[in-house]
Chain A
Amino acid sequence: GAVVSQHPSWVICKSGTSVKIECRSLDFQATTMFWYRQFPKQSLMLMATSNEGSKATYEQGVEKDKFLINHASLTLSTLTVTSAHPEDSSFYICSASGWGLADLSEQFFGPGTRLTVL
């Protein structure tokens, strides 16, 4: 149990376009989802936290108008990178916690999405 999926697993886009990444909890209700970004050979940096039905809380330095997060249901959160630029190229990972888990606070990670902006 506790499976989190992400789609797509990788995406290549042109500079200036927008890209949507989906994160789904497959066997539990994700009351909270987290979005991380990881540059090569670096650590995971939390971008934002979203609770179902509420606006996301963004970490300092993360532009909320550029990284749009929607968590409209208990099984789906989306991250849209708007007007993507090459510096947005990174590995984006979501995680989820919530009802149906033995530990409500434990986070389960998706497989990640590799974004390359040309």
Chain B
Amino acid sequence: RKEVEQDPGPFNVPEGATVAFNCTYSNSASQSFFWYRQDCRKEPKLLMSVYSSGNEDGRFTAQLNRASQYISLLIRDSKLSDSATYLCVVKPHASGGSYIPTFGRGTSLIVHP
């Protein structure tokens, strides 16, 4: 099983739609979770961190389910500008002073008019 798995998509949705992505992880010791966004031919950029209690940032909502070992990203009222690849990132706890983040392969979202 891969450490971090995502459905590559693409998810093809109309403007205004609500879309959700999941990301599963295999390391139960994982402690930090993030969603990054990567536009075509650009570098990944942090979209939002994922907190245990779930968190919202405008149209974006991130949730963590530790029992089932997955995180999710919900996008409401999709905009054309949301078209991108969404990468999930999982990190173990930094108890030893160093740790390695693991990126998923990404989920492609295409929002059309």
Bound together: no
